[in-house]
Amino acid sequence: MGAIAAVAIIVACILVFRQLGGSTEEPAEEAGVVTMICRDCGEVFKITYKDMGLEEHPDLDALQEKATGMACPKCGKKNTVVSVRCPRCGKPFAPPTDTSQIRDFKCPHCKKSPWKR
């Protein structure tokens, strides 16, 4: 009886933990919020379109243009870009600057190409 109660408590704890966002999986992107990454120090931070001075549904070019060269909250360097979420490991990374690098690009977290099979 005691063992069953203990298991039930553990399961309940895990469920609560997950609901609070404590799991290792990143939560889905919220609307109007952009995940940015600093090319210098790798700091990942979130910013809203509003804080960037953009309208609610900016086109991607306007967004990239605004997002490039914003001051990083950690190192202060203006070398930030909109991050890309790796489809393999789910972690955000800075996309390659040059499209010709995409073929050989590897995710810095899982070391696999996010775009190749």
Which residues form the interface with Zn ion (CB under 5 A)?
38, 40-41, 43, 72, 74-75, 86, 88-89, 107, 109-110
Nearest to Zn ion of 54, 72 (CB atom): 72
Nearest to Zn ion of 74, 103 (CB atom): 74
Minimum gap (Å) between residue 33 Cβ and Zn ion: 19
Nearest to Zn ion of 32, 43 (CB atom): 43
Ranges of H-type helices in the chain = 2-19, 60-67
Between CA 102 and CA 68 the distance in angstroms is 18
